[in-house]
Amino acid sequence: MNTELLGIIATYGLTLLIGIPLGIYLAKMFAGEKVWTDFLKPLEKGIYKLSGINPEESMNWKQHMKALLTINMVWLVYGFFALIYQDKLPLNPDGNLGQSPDLAFNSIISFVVNCNLQHYSGESGATYFTQHFVFMFLQFVSAATGIAAAVVLFKAFRDKTTTSLGNFWVFFTRSITRLLLPLSVVVAIILAFNGTTTSYEGKDQYISLQGDTVGVSRGPAAGFVAIKHLGTNGGGWFGVNSSHPIENPNYLTNMTEAISQVIIPVAMIFAFGYFIRRKKMAWVIFGIMTLGMMLLLIPTVISETGGSPAIAKMGVSQLTGAMEGKEVRFGPTATAYWSTVTTIISTGSVNSMHDSGMPLTGMYQLIAMMMNCFYGGCGVGILNYFIFIIIAVFISGLMVGRTPEFLGHKVEAREVKIASIIALLHPFIILVGTALAAYTITYFPDANWAVKPANWLNNPGFHGFSEMLYENTSAAANNGSGFEGLGDNNTFWNVVTGFILILGRFLPIIGPVAIAGLLASKKYIPESAGTLKTDTLTFGMMTFVVIVIIAALAFFPALTLGPVAEYFTLIK
């Protein structure tokens, strides 16, 4: 078997080998059972004490959401001003300028919501201070926010009837001290020893072998790159993210980064099942998510390793596949694998330029973000999937004429309404955003922005439309990857995606937690012969069908105008 294929099989295998036991550990850790990391308790006690937090205080779901929104608001305000005034703050060896208000607005939202869309380039648009004290800080805490919200949902289904769902600050702090930080240290050290820079020195200059004078951007990137993947953030230290040879030096680091972005989303599925004492349910959810992933991964690998039809016509040989926008050290197979996992999970880091991928590859990436629940981001993946579970419960209940129930709680009109709104919100903001962009480009091509709408698109025709669709989808899915040819650093994109980002983050967190909170407070109905079982494969497939139908109905027309049309022009 060829070594490139073997490489991705090993990568996925290792992911499961780490992810599944990690999930079991997380279930125990969040339940407060004895685990080997308990030696960190004094550190956590110190954090609670300094922050004036009483870890014993129990919250209901509304208090949880209040705490979550408050601390996120604090980060938004603080980060916005830090970015605008970064030129006046320390740790700026390259003398980079402050961000413009609309760019800072977009950047800070984008990092608070775990998206990392990045309309700036790390080399020139951020300083070592903001890279650390804004961006890397948010990469930790936004991931922890997602995980903590998911744990609130877990907690709601652990006991029969309850309104007290644990303490938000505890879930949040433990996500960092017991999960994100220790793993980051390990990954950062692996990266550092393979060539990712760690020192605080600024740009270097040297005279190349041919005699050109060349500058090279560096900086303490290893720690940043570690959490960017573990926290499914995806924001790069450098402009080109993990295709940069310092950010991702070789095949080993590529495997490490690809594994580290998937382990926590996989672990969260098993954490859910073990936490609520329904292991079978975890395996069913895992199976359905894996099915979804494979249905996107396999055609992506085929599409990329098949090479570009236009280049094949020119007569050069594409031995391993399409190479535009890709790096030799990874090869097309590992690049295809990466592009799938980074879009099904809301990481959005890239090791190739997605804009230059094959048309169908672009479509699979878009679909991955449109469904946004096959594994999904840190914590929020399982929350998104939960919405589809509720809808599937409702529809199956109607089909077989039984009262819709989930884990012993009646699912009633209120819960189904919330679930439907959240499920429809995603296509709504994507399509409205894209329509707005297409309208602007057509009717106001000369608007006086940093980049004129007429110059937004780097590619003509259908591919240009895909660039706009991708940007909005990525923002709504809190993914952060892009068809980077799009001229996105201007008022229009900064503001429009800024709002899409906020809507696409907080409502899909509040919705599921609210449903869980409402269900948990209802009377527990013991399982009987009439109960619709939600941990069976049949029900799993039902959920899968719901996901596919919602996405197909909402997005098929838009996909046809972009990647599908481009595919057919390319092969004709």
Partner 1 sequence: MKKYIIQSLRLTGVLMVLLCVIYPLTIAYVGKFSPGEGGGEKVTKNGKVVGYALIGQSFTKPEYFWGRPSAVAYNAAGSGGSNKGPSNPDYLKDVAGRIDTLLKYHPYLKKSDIPADMVTASGSGLDPDISETAAIMQIKRVAAYRKLDERLVAEAVVKNTEGPLFGLFGPSKVNVLKLNVALDELKK
- Pattern 424-463, partner 1, x by CB under 8 A: ----------------------------------xxxxxx
Q: Looking only at residues 391 through 410 of this chain, which bind partner 1 when binding is defined by CB under 8 A? A: none
Q: Looking only at residues 252 through 281 of this chain, which bind partner 1 when binding is defined by CB under 8 A? A: 252, 254-255
> Interface with partner 1 includes 510 (CB under 8 A)?
no
Applying CB under 8 A, among 323, 366, 419, 520 the residue interacting with partner 1 is: 323
Stretch that binds partner 1, among 110-118, 350-358, 471-479, 497-505 (CB under 8 A): 350-358
Close Cβ partners of 242 (under 8 Å, ≥ 6 residues apart): 225, 236, 248, 254, 257, 338, 349, 350, 351
Shortest distance, position 512 Cβ to partner 1, whole Å = 21
> Interface with partner 1 includes 465 (CB under 8 A)?
no
> Interface with partner 1 includes 42 (CB under 8 A)?
no
The CA–CA distances, whole Å, from 388 to 118, 402, 479, 488 equal 30, 18, 19, 32
> Which residue is it, tokens 């996901």?
547
Residue closer to partner 1 (CB basis): 222 or 370: 222
> Which residue is it, tokens 């969040």?
30
Applying CB under 8 A, among 17, 97, 216, 495 the residue interacting with partner 1 is: 216
Nearest CA-CA partner of 385 in 287, 239, 457, 472: 287
Residues 515 and 417: beta-carbon distance below 8 Å: no
> Interface with partner 1 includes 170 (CB under 8 A)?
no
Nearest CA-CA partner of 477 in 369, 329, 353, 386: 369
Exposure string over 268-289, b if 16+ CB within 10 A, otherwise e: bbbbbbbbbebeebbbbbbebb
Amino acid of residue 259? I
Applying CB under 8 A, among 96, 243, 372, 396 the residue interacting with partner 1 is: 243
Residue closer to partner 1 (CB basis): 71 or 541: 71
CB burial of residue 28 (10 Å; 0-12, 13-18, 19+): middle
Phi, psi of 452 (to 5 degrees): -60, 140
Shortest distance, position 264 Cβ to partner 1, whole Å = 17
Applying CB under 8 A, among 66, 402, 414, 417 the residue interacting with partner 1 is: 66
Applying CB under 8 A, among 31, 35, 67, 76 the residue interacting with partner 1 is: 67
Shortest distance, position 12 Cβ to partner 1, whole Å = 12
> Interface with partner 1 includes 164 (CB under 8 A)?
no
Shortest distance, position 15 Cβ to partner 1, whole Å = 14
Residues 525 and 410: beta-carbon distance below 8 Å: yes
Residue closer to partner 1 (CB basis): 315 or 401: 315
Residue closer to partner 1 (CB basis): 74 or 552: 74
Close Cβ partners of 505 (under 8 Å, ≥ 6 residues apart): 112, 113, 114, 115, 380, 478
